[in-house]
Structure 1
Amino acid sequence: MRIRAALCLLALTGSPSTYAQWLDAYGTKHIAASSPAAPLLNNASCLPEPVDHPLELEDAIQQAVCANPQAREAWANARAQAAAVGVNEAAYLPTLNATAGIERDTLATTYDAGAFGNIKTSQNSSSKYGVLNLNWVLFDFGKRGAALRQARELLAAANATQDDVLQTVFFNTAQAFYAVRDARASMEAAQQTENVAKESVAETSAKHDAGAGTLSDQLQAQTTYRRAVIDRVNAEGNERTAKGTLAAAMGLDANTPMQIDGSEPPANSSEFEQDVDRLIDEAKASQPKLVAARAKLEAARANVDAARAQGRPTISLVGSLTQNNPSYQQQPEQLPIASSRGSTIGIQVTIPLFEGFASGYRVAEAQAQADAQEADMQNTELQVSLDVWRSYQSLHADTANLDNSKALLTDAEHSLEIARGRYKAGVGTFTELLNAQTALADARKQRILAVSKWSTDRLRLAESLGNLGLWAAR
């Protein structure tokens, strides 16, 4: 008995359909990304990046796209849709089902024999049977084709959505990286401002002690210095906060110590020295949001065709093979039945005649969904063109301001040198020196802001074009 149970279990777990679950007969594993970050990283690995050395922007982005849960979710959705393509491909092949069983029936009958009492008889029967059923849809007026086309378009939309998610993760991580760099630059500028203010305190104190300066100048210098100390402490706190935000974006604990490469990027916008009309056309062709919207529209149109085909006839090849080996307690005058076998094959036509008028409503629902998807695609197209336009104009303005902010900083530094020399020589006032210090501090802030905006807008334009990649981090 145990051996028979084991054989049955082996037959169930080792059936051909079970083995088919491990096969990829339609190559669906190759029509979706091989990893959550594959569309963006290409051949780069997802190994954890060490944080004991200054991080480059590429390192932070690679770690973020590998650890981000939204990227994994988008990848899972794409793989699920790729499997759905395989399911719809399988509809073109026949289905074959086998049924087998062992039965034992017992029939007990009691007869009333009057004076002889009751007579009891029993009849036992057992049988072993097997049935093999074949069904192959030969023609269905385009229902399977529409379903397959819909699945493929939804796969294209899922792949584009995964691409868009990675672009968003890329951009958000880059922003967090630039925020750390800006916070460090602000802290360094605050330290420089504090040092300048400290020197002014020493100069005013020396002049006051020598009887050549006023107490008012000394107090003003001390007040400016205290303010500079407060700004420096705040800047240090902002840098620590920005580092925690970047660590979280990379999938690390916020308290993970890290250092970044904070070198200022070269001011070169040659990647985007194109006509804005050409850039908009490029975005309309390759922007992931728009690619996904167009694929969803085509899927909705395919769904309309599938809804129409659902009310049409289906022609199928059907067949069956039956084997039965009964064993009865036969009456003496009957010949025993050793076995029986039957087979059936034919063409079956299924014609939907009436289903409560549901067919028309299904088509109307699918058509309305397609119309809504078309409107969404047109809205996405307008939004993409607007994003490109805004990013393009901002980048050009920020590129010009890079040179302007650098010239402003140079002039402010030179102005402070002159004001300090005049004050030491006794021909300049402390107010003039204080104004020069304030102008220099503001110039440093403007320089940091100009570099930050240029770096961010450069990536923002690449994102609006759908061209974000590790090349953009150089």
Structure 2
Amino acid sequence: MKYALGSGLRRLRLSTMAVLACLALTACATDAMKLAPTAPDQPWKPGNQQTTGGAVDFSLPADPALSQLHDNVTIDTKRSYGLAELIDIAQRGNPATRIAWEHARQAALAVGMVEATYLPMITANVIGGRQKASTPVDLPIAGERQLNATLSGVSPSLALQWLLFDFGQRQAVAGAAREVSYAANVMFNASHQKLIFDVANAYYLYGAATSALDIAHHTLRNSREIRSAVEARLANGRATTVEVAQARQLVAQSELRLVKAEGQARDAYQAVLAAMGINATVKIKINGATKRNLPAKVDATTDNMIKAALSRRPDVIASYAALKASQSGIAAAEAEFMPKVFVAGGVTKSSTGFNASGLPTIGNQATGMGFLVGATMPIYDSGLRAAQLKNAQAQASASEQVFRKTQLAAVTEIVVASNALRTALESHKAATALLKAAAITYDAAIDAYKNGVGTLTVVTEANSGLLDARLAQADAHAASLITAANLAFMTGSLTSTNSLPFLPVQ
């Protein structure tokens, strides 16, 4: 009776402790709500400090560690950099290429993880424990009315698992992983090709902006020359105050145009730094690209050119690798229908001891070893394997269509880029001829006005025409360089600074 009562009390205590533990855990979980904002219209503050008075402030605590900028490259601010040097700096420091590199490394490690499944897995396990029990007895044993017993033991083991044969499932998975790794490596090179194009594009746009700035300065000089001519005629009584006002308005417009051109040049400079992936506060001198010769024409796009481009374009290559990876997925799904043969084994050693009050200690040590060969094959899975196979087949079919779509899109991009280059070169040729004519017209108009045989209206129109012609030529020159780089990028041949459409400087 005493034993039954004591046992019941122990169970009651254990049940009570379990309930209290659950309540404590529940309270801890709900207490975590204090980490969130107190209300939807109240700001979050560290420790949820309450704001009192004034406007509601949703500012965040400053972390000085976040303001530390780490530049991966060193830039000499005293020298001038050309396009090739800017690209070299970008390739060494741009985070985009480093991200692509890490992705390629991760894909390579995935191949290694799959190949590791070909080898056996050996695990070491240790199980140990100690248990004490105290039981009241009616008759004293060695003078004790409590029987104290201790059971302890340690059982280390070494286990082996090895999948010997799986009808090519691991081989298929490994093949898919290799294709994914190949695609990641391709996209790593593609990230560098894209970086070369982005820096070149920003560089050429910066060249156009600096050309526009030079043109704005030249136009301002012409406007001041016109104003001086009008004021000279006014002093001789051959000009009106209206003409003087018009001349001064022309100067003011030129000054405003110069301010805008300076702002555009600054923005283009920042675009170069952004394309390079360096700190926007860095001061770097950039050589212009305004004095590069342009070819009169380019060869038309041919089928051989398109085929060669498709064979080396990174997106086409990566898309084809994804197709082959999805086809390996079909083989892996088909292998699920076949049995798997494995080997398992283990070595175990156990050591136990039992001690009771007043009794000698009883111990035991044993060692066991065993190996077995087995096969496993699921018989019924409610259509799970069949669904997995159909899903793999659907993915392969979709990957094939993605590959075809990528091919067609690549062909379109190549043809459009080629047409754009031809148009830009033709526009530059026409703009050059227009500039020559506009320069002659302006020189004749200003000379005629100075000699009293021309009108201010003709001079103003000639100045505007000269400005438009200069801007048109500068824009066409930059467009020709950009579209040439774009065509090289679209054909997959923009692989280094040497493959840029560099043209001899005049």
Matched, 1:413 2:444: no
| Mapped contact 1:110–1:118 kept (Cα < 8 A) | no
Could you tell me the TM-score, scaled by structure 1's length?
Answer: 0.81
The answer for the alignment partner of 2:186 in structure 1 is 160
Show CA shifts across 1:290-346 (max 9, x none). Answer: 11111111111111221221232111122111222344459xxx9976632221122
| Mapped contact 2:76–2:284 kept (Cα < 8 A) | no
Matched, 1:150 2:179: no
The answer for the alignment partner of 1:349 in structure 2 is 375
The answer for the alignment partner of 1:60 in structure 2 is 86
Per-residue deviation at 1:136? 1.4
Whichever residue aligns with residue 412 of structure 1, its letter is A
The answer for the alignment partner of 1:380 in structure 2 is 406
The answer for the alignment partner of 1:227 in structure 2 is 253
Cα distance change on mapping 1:217 and 1:276 into 2, 3 Å: farther
Instruction: Give 1:370's match in structure 2, choosing from 393, 396, 399.
Output: 396
Whichever residue aligns with residue 156 of structure 1, its letter is Y
Residues in 1 aligned to 2:352 and 2:471: alpha-carbon distance in whole angstroms: 95
**1:172-187 equivalence runs, <5 A:** 172-187=198-213
Whichever residue aligns with residue 340 of structure 1, its letter is A
The answer for the alignment partner of 1:28 in structure 2 is none
SS in 2 for 1:339: strand
The answer for the alignment partner of 1:208 in structure 2 is 234
The answer for the alignment partner of 1:39 in structure 2 is none
Matched, 1:402 2:428: yes
| Mapped contact 2:166–2:338 kept (Cα < 8 A) | yes
Residues in 2 aligned to 1:129 and 1:92: alpha-carbon distance in whole angstroms: 29
Could you tell me the TM-score, scaled by structure 2's length?
Answer: 0.77
Instruction: Give 2:333's match in structure 1, choosing from 281, 299, 307.
Output: 307
Whichever residue aligns with residue 71 of structure 1, its letter is T
Per-residue deviation at 1:382? 0.8
Whichever residue aligns with residue 183 of structure 2, its letter is A
Whichever residue aligns with residue 94 of structure 1, its letter is P
**1:70-149 equivalence runs, <5 A:** 70-106=96-132, 121-149=147-175
SS in 2 for 1:47: coil
Residues in 2 aligned to 1:131 and 1:460: alpha-carbon distance in whole angstroms: 64
| Mapped contact 2:90–2:278 kept (Cα < 8 A) | no
Cα distance change on mapping 1:123 and 1:443 into 2, 3 Å: same
Identical columns (%): 27
SS in 1 for 2:350: strand
Per-residue deviation at 1:111? 5.2
The answer for the alignment partner of 2:342 in structure 1 is 316
Residues in 2 aligned to 1:146 and 1:100: alpha-carbon distance in whole angstroms: 36
Per-residue deviation at 1:257? 3.1
Residues in 1 aligned to 2:154 and 2:361: alpha-carbon distance in whole angstroms: 19
Whichever residue aligns with residue 199 of structure 2, its letter is T
The answer for the alignment partner of 1:471 in structure 2 is 498
Show CA shifts across 1:16-59 (max 9, x none). Answer: xxxxxxxxxxxxxxxxxxxxxxxxxxxxx963333333232223
Matched, 1:422 2:418: no
Whichever residue aligns with residue 373 of structure 2, its letter is I
| Mapped contact 1:104–1:124 kept (Cα < 8 A) | yes
| Mapped contact 1:57–1:174 kept (Cα < 8 A) | yes
Between 174-183 and 136-145, the greater mean CA deviation after superposition: 174-183
Residues in 2 aligned to 1:186 and 1:337: alpha-carbon distance in whole angstroms: 96
Matched, 1:259 2:285: yes
Cα distance change on mapping 1:393 and 1:103 into 2, 3 Å: same
Cα distance change on mapping 1:335 and 1:259 into 2, 3 Å: closer
Residues in 2 aligned to 1:69 and 1:245: alpha-carbon distance in whole angstroms: 16
The answer for the alignment partner of 2:462 in structure 1 is 436
SS in 1 for 2:285: coil
Per-residue deviation at 1:272? 6.8
Show CA shifts across 1:418-444 (max 9, x none). Answer: 223333333333333223222211110
Whichever residue aligns with residue 88 of structure 2, its letter is Q
Task: Count residues in correspondence.
Answer: 429
| Mapped contact 1:176–1:242 kept (Cα < 8 A) | yes
Long gaps (5+) in structure 1 = 1-44
Cα distance change on mapping 1:414 and 1:269 into 2, 3 Å: closer
Whichever residue aligns with residue 143 of structure 1, its letter is Q
Residues in 1 aligned to 2:227 and 2:361: alpha-carbon distance in whole angstroms: 125
SS in 1 for 2:81: coil
Between 189-198 and 170-179, the greater mean CA deviation after superposition: 170-179
Per-residue deviation at 1:186? 0.5
SS in 2 for 1:91: helix
Per-residue deviation at 1:248? 3.0
Show CA shifts across 1:258-291 (max 9, x none). Answer: 3311142533569974743222212211111111
